[in-house]
Amino acid sequence: MDNTNILLQRHSVRDIMNKEIDVDILKQIIFEAQRAPSYENSQPWKAYIATGKTLESIREVHKQKAENREKSWTEITPPLGWQEHPKNNVENYMNETESLIGEYGIKELLSQNAILFNAPAVIYITIPKDSSHYSAYDAGAFGYGILLSAYHNGLGTVPAYEIIRYPGEIRDHFDIPEDESIFMGIAIGYPTEGKTLSTLIMSRDNLDNILQIKE
């Protein structure tokens, strides 16, 4: 694997093989992600990993809720609206996805969502309740560290709102203190070869739209 372009090569994998991941690899990924910068080294994040029977129990409950279209709400308020710039990017993403995978692919994607992308492990990240935006930034850096370390170790990942939209099913299986909020979920595993949902690399905004340099 050419690691010199790891930032350009990494992408979200939405179809994952149900192949067990060695627990030492999972521990190494979290260890490496801990190198993420944080405000005054506060390291506000915590990580909880579901595998094996625990994850299968969560997956079954999640699948039933998703198929029944049960109303959900995350512990961290999701975006309730977008400003023009991110709104345009979201619309472009939706159009690009549909053009790349078509109507059948969209249905397959929704099916993968319902089973948590078939992943053999899911990482849940928490931060203290009522955290500042700085702590949210720190947790994002920690999460991105997980994605990059996983890719370095030959694994695929996808961080997704879907994974944490039913917080109760997560808390039922972990001893998560009440003063922690479930912030993000990351499905992790070996990409299913030959599947479009394993290889999609979405475009990014034009650099001129996001960057100013003044001399």
- The domain spans of the chain are 12-203
Domain spanning 12-203: CATH superfamily = NADH Oxidase (3.40.109.10)
Instruction: Centre a 10 Å sphere on the Cβ of residue 144 and count the other Cβ atoms it contains.
Output: 15
CB 150 within 8 A of CB 144: no
Whole-number Å distance between alpha carbons of 138 and 39 = 7
Helix axes 133-152, 23-33, angle to 10 degrees: 140
| Tens digits of pLDDT across the chain (215 residues) | 455 689 999 999 999 998 999 999 999 999 999 999 999 999 999 999 999 999 999 999 999 999 999 999 999 998 889 999 999 999 999 999 989 899 888 999 999 999 999 999 999 999 999 999 999 999 999 999 999 999 999 999 999 999 999 999 999 999 999 999 999 999 999 999 888 888 888 899 999 999 999 99
- C-alpha distances (whole Å) from 202 to each of 9, 11, 18, 54 are 11, 8, 24, 32
Structure tokens that stand for 150 in this block = 């996983």
